[in-house]
């Protein structure tokens, strides 16, 4: 089963931050028509989000052992039992690839119909939304301390020692995917960007597909990805509106 390591998480956040920093370079003067622009304050926010994201892992949270291993499948809601029956490693890999692809599409869509300063502003907003949604998900995972579906299977004893298997809610993939889609939607509508509706539909469809693949991979329950979708959408909307 595909798992992200602590180092890989840090590398992704570092890459995200570096990408935004490069977007922040260049002229800072804007025309009166520009609603927002990228500043070094955005770079500081990205750095803060990265640190916030990594703190639970650095502190090895959650520190408590799983409540049971194996756990009783009858103790979960009926809608969540599909997550226990699913264990496709290919779906897990596909969810990772699709999430990266969705991020790429969102950044490319931000280039549509915008000048240089406005593009930098859009990229900064998208990067902020992705980083802060990941940070929020990281902390809620540590506090919720929900067992992943694998701990409800016969292989629970071997999986119980992995701290990551006690961080099921919410789905980080779903959170980041929906945050990117929601923040793009606000930006595109505010700027009257061309192809805004088509791009937004594509991004939300990709986010839904990422979420479905996480369940198919046996990494999350359906309620995990639903919680991630709500959290990510909320963070994405808030970040984009805050950058008015």
Q: What is the pLDDT of residues 131-171, one digit of tens each?
A: 999 999 999 999 999 999 999 999 999 999 999 999 999 99
pLDDT over 90 percentage in the chain: 69
Query: 53-85: per-residue pLDDT in tens?
Result: 999 999 999 988 898 989 999 999 999 999 999
Output the CA angle 174-55-106, nearest 5 degrees. Answer: 35
Q: Please tell me which residue, 63 or 20, carries the higher pLDDT value.
A: 63
Cβ-Cβ contacts under 8 Å for 47 (sequence gap 6 or more): 17
pTM of structure:
0.84
pLDDT over 70 percentage in the chain: 84
d(Cα 135, Cα 212) in Å, to the nearest integer?
Answer: 22
193 backbone φψ class: left, alpha, beta (φ>0; ψ -120 to 50): beta
Yes or no: say if 153 and 32 are a contact pair by the CB < 8 Å rule: no
d(Cα 189, Cα 201) in Å, to the nearest integer?
Answer: 13
Cβ-Cβ contacts under 8 Å for 21 (sequence gap 6 or more): 43, 46
d(Cα 98, Cα 80) in Å, to the nearest integer?
Answer: 23
Q: Please tell me which residue, 24 or 198, carries the higher pLDDT value.
A: 198
Q: Calculate mean pLDDT across residues 209-225.
A: 98
Here the tokens at position 166 are: 């006690």
Query: 87-127: per-residue pLDDT in tens?
Result: 999 999 999 999 999 999 999 998 887 777 788 888 999 99
Yes or no: say if 153 and 81 are a contact pair by the CB < 8 Å rule: no
Of the candidates 76, 77, 79, the residue with the CA atom closest to the CA atom of residue 68: 76
| pLDDT above 90: residue 14 | no
Query: Helix 172-191 vs helix 116-144: angle between axes, to the nearest 10 degrees?
Result: 150
Q: How many CB atoms lie within 10 A of CB 58?
A: 10
d(Cα 161, Cα 179) in Å, to the nearest integer?
Answer: 31
Of the candidates 45, 61, 59, 60, the residue with the CA atom closest to the CA atom of residue 13: 45
């Amino acid at each position: 089963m595909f798992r992200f390591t602590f180092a890989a998480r840090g590398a992704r956040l570092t890459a995200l931050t570096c990408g935004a920093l490069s977007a922040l370079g260049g002229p800072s003067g804007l025309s009166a028509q520009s609603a927002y622009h990228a500043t070094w304050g955005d770079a500081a926010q990205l750095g803060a989000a990265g640190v916030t994201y990594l703190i639970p892992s650095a502190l090895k949270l959650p520190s408590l052992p799983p409540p049971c291993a194996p756990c009783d499948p009858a103790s979960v809601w009926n809608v969540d039992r599909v997550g226990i029956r699913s264990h496709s490693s290919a779906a897990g890999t596909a969810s990772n690839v699709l999430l990266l692809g969705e991020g790429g599409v969102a950044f490319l869509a931000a280039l549509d119909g915008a000048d240089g300063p406005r593009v930098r502003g859009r990229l900064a907003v998208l990067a902020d939304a992705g980083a802060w949604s990941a940070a929020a998900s990281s902390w809620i995972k540590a506090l919720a301390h929900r067992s992943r579906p694998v701990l409800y299977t016969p292989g629970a004893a071997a999986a119980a020692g992995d701290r990551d298997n006690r961080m099921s809610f919410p789905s980080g993939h779903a959170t980041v995917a929906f945050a990117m889609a929601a923040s793009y939607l606000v930006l595109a509508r505010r700027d009257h960007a061309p192809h805004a509706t088509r791009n937004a539909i594509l991004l939300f469809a990709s986010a839904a597909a990422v979420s479905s693949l996480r369940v198919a991979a046996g990494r999350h329950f359906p309620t995990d990805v639903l919680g991630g979708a709500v959290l990510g959408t909320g963070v994405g909307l808030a970040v984009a509106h805050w950058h008015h």
